[in-house]
Each structure stands twice: as C-alpha cells, then as structure tokens.
C-alpha cells in the first residue's frame, strides 16, 4: 500500500503578503497626536498582543476595536478608518494559482492537504469575498471551513490560538476513519526570516514550543524558506524517498 501523507500548512503561505506594520503605525501615530506623552511600552505591547489574540479566537469586532482604542488612549479615530487599515494587512495576490498548485502536488504525491489560519472574522470575510471574485469557493459555514476541496481550520471558528489550533488539526486528522495518513508533516515559517526582532522572538518561542510537541507526537516539521512550490516539492520528495528506503529495507 502506498504511503499516505498529510501536509498541514498556513493559509498565509498561499497569500502574497500579510503585513501588520501599516495598521500598527497608524495607531501609534493617532495615539501620539492625541497624547504627546504616549509611549508604547513593552507592557502596553503585551496587552495589545493579547487583544489581537483574543480577537483571532472569535472575539467580536466592535469589542476588539473599543478595547484596543481605549488601551492606546485614542478617542478620535473613526471606525471606518480603523477597519480600512485593518483590512490592508492582507493581500491575496494570485491565490487561485496557489490553490491549483496544491491540487496538482496533492494528486501527484497522493498527499492530503490541510490549511490553517490564525485569523479573525473580519479578515476571513474579506478573504471569502476576494476568493469568490476569483471564481473559487471558500465555505465559511462548514466546520472546518473549506477552500475549494481543502479543509481550512481557522482560529476564530475553533476558538484556539496558533499552537492549540495545530494540535486540534493533528487530532482531527488522526480521528478520521478513512484516508488516514501514515505521516503528518507540518510546514512552518522560519522565524529567522522575520525582520522585526520583537516579532521574531515571539515566533521563535512559538516555534520551539510546537517543535517539542510535534516531536512527542510523531509529527514531522519542515520549514518554509523559498517559494511554496519549492517547499512542497522538497517536503513531498523527501517523504517519497523515505518511503522507498523503507520498502527497500523490507525486501532485503
């Protein structure tokens, strides 16, 4: 029987860009305009990060907006400007081409593809709208959500943070009665590629924690450094070679 592989990767790897810097810069500018003594202290940044995380786990948009603006002492920012800048974080790019690539690579290597996204309802709705414009389907009523034929687990639906979401996906994959894979490969972004040192430090801590869990639970980790096509080709080719080696050993 051919080895069946499940590959779990972030939806962000299919998008052109996810950039929070513009939104954060806008908020800091507004905060300093209203209060010249404003200082974005590490504690303030930590509290803001917790609000972001809570929102991505299914928080209400209006509550998130009010709490974040209150934390920063901003009183003169219109809601329409807040969410306009928020939506600029995500640039889809040629998503249909990436989806087609997943379809082709999955078929060629007999691989099951699963997607994850640490995202919120506003960004999910925005992505769904643009996906529809590309004549594709993103069904947000299903659980998990589906992007074309691929299951997409989103934090705002599951109510879990990035690390717990990965654990949830692995558990769900292993609970299947049919199409159960022999191997689960988790593709993670390389923290070393993050330019902002504070964000890099957070990413490294997350990576270390999930790496320990994956090792304990027999999940293979592979880092995404190049194009999606190169990453998938390397990951799946390596798995095929490992399977061939095992088969060769059994025939001796």
pLDDT tens for residues 2-44? Answer: 578 999 999 999 999 999 999 999 999 999 999 999 999 999 9
Distance between CA atoms of 213 and 207, rounded to whole angstroms?
Answer: 10
Tens of pLDDT, residue by residue over 151-208, are 999 999 999 999 999 999 999 999 988 878 999 999 998 888 877 777 788 888 889 9
pLDDT on residue 247: 39
Tell me how crowded residue 106 is: count the other CB atoms within 10 A of its CB.
Answer: 18
pLDDT on residue 56: 97
The token pair that represents 42 in the structure block: 């590490």
Tell me how crowded residue 95 is: count the other CB atoms within 10 A of its CB.
Answer: 20
pLDDT exceeds cutoff 50 at 212: yes
pLDDT on residue 191: 85
pLDDT on residue 2: 58
Q: What are phi and psi of 160, to 5 degrees?
A: -130, 155
CA-closest candidate to residue 99, choices 11, 219, 185: 11
Tens of pLDDT, residue by residue over 94-118, are 999 999 999 999 999 989 999 999 9
Helix axis angle, 95-108 relative to 228-251, nearest 10°?
10
* Domain 5-17+92-251 part of CATH 3.30.360.10: no
**Residues above pLDDT 70, as percent of the chain:** 94
End-to-end CA distance of the chain: 18
Q: Is 37 exposed, middle or buried (0-12, 13-18, 19+ CB in 10 A)?
A: exposed
Distance between CA atoms of 131 and 15, rounded to whole angstroms?
Answer: 11
pLDDT on residue 239: 66
CA dihedral 28, 126, 163, 65 (to 10 degrees): 40
- As beta bridge partners, residue 190 has none
């Amino acid at each position: 029987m051919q080895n069946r592989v499940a590959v779990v990767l972030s939806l962000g790897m299919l998008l052109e860009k996810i950039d929070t810097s513009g939104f954060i810069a806008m908020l800091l500018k507004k905060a300093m305009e209203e209060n010249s003594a404003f200082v974005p202290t590490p504690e303030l940044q930590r509290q803001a990060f917790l609000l972001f995380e809570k929102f991505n786990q299914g928080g209400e948009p209006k509550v998130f907006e009010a709490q974040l603006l209150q934390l920063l002492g901003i009183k003169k920012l219109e809601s329409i400007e807040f969410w306009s800048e928020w939506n600029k974080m995500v640039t889809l790019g040629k998503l249909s081409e990436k989806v087609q690539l997943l379809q082709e690579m999955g078929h060629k290597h007999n691989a099951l593809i699963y997607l994850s996204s640490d995202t919120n309802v506003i960004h999910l709705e925005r992505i769904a709208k643009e996906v529809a414009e590309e004549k594709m389907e993103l069904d947000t009523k299903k659980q998990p959500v589906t992007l074309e034929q691929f299951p997409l687990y989103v934090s705002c639906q599951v109510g879990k943070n990035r690390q717990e979401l990965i654990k949830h996906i692995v558990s769900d994959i292993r609970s299947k009665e049919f199409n159960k894979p022999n191997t689960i490969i988790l593709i993670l972004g390389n923290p070393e590629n993050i330019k902002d040192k504070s964000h890099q430090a957070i990413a490294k801590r997350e990576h270390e924690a999930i790496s320990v869990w994956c090792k304990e639970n027999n999940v293979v980790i592979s880092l995404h450094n190049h194009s999606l096509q190169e990453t998938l080709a390397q990951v799946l080719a390596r798995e095929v070679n490992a399977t061939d080696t095992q088969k060769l050993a059994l025939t001796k």
